[in-house]
Amino acid sequence: MPQVKPEVESFARIKVVGIGGSGKNAVNHMVNAKVKGVEFVAVNTDAQDLHNSLAKRKIHIGKNVTRGLGAGMNPELGKRAAEETKEEIQESLKGADMIFLAGGMGGGTGTGAMPVVAKVAKEIGSLTVGVVTKPFFFEGQQRMRFAEQGIEELKKSVDAIIVIPNDRILNTIAKDTTAKQAFMMCDEILKQAVEG
């Protein structure tokens, strides 16, 4: 006897949260590329940088801690900023079946705030995936050390993590590629990771 399958469409509610300056750049790239079926959220300590985000939902974290000036490459400040704004973050993530957290590791906001946002995402029951970049070598050893620590902290609160070492990208591009072009290539790789 033939089986009739009803035509039922079910779509997972997916949110992409860009955290910090690098996360904002990745979200802007995805918005400009017209990635469909995704709700975008930008989270940043830097009010001016957040203003330049194309995400529909923008969350200025740590207004009291950073006074809108960013985390100044201090992950502890980024963490405190996210904790200060936890309720607003939770409200913005509600209803998502799957949450991608996009950003660069090594700075203050992305490195410090992303693990806090990941914990909130897990608490509301969302499948949570971190998609992060590691710094280029020319960004310095301190930034790389912060990145490694941030990735280890993030692993504790996500279901999966995709780590993109920026230096590996340098090995595949033309020698005359500018730093800006290299960062844009990283944004494209983050976009592809989110699109699957």
For 67-110, write each residue's pLDDT tens digit.
Answer: 888 898 999 999 999 999 999 999 999 999 999 999 999 999 99
Residue 86 lies in a domain: yes
Residue 151 lies in a domain: yes
Write down the pLDDT at residue 160: 96
Q: CATH number of the domain that 29 lies in?
A: 3.40.50.1440
Residue 8 lies in a domain: no
**Amino acid identity for residue 99 in this structure:** I
Using N-to-C axis directions, what is the helix angle for 179-195 and 20-32, rounded to 10°? 70
Structural domain including 86 reads 14-195
Query: Is residue 4 scored above 70 in pLDDT?
Result: no
Q: Which range in 4-8, 14-18, 66-70 is most confidently predicted, on average pLDDT?
A: 14-18
pTM across the whole model: 0.89
91-95, 139-143, 182-186: range with lowest mean pLDDT? 182-186
Residue 160 lies in a domain: yes
Total domains, the chain: 1
**pLDDT 10s digits, 128-137:** 999 999 998 8
Residue 2 lies in a domain: no
Question: Chain-wide mean pLDDT for the chain?
Answer: 90
Q: What is the mean pLDDT of residues 50-77?
A: 94
Residue 6 lies in a domain: no
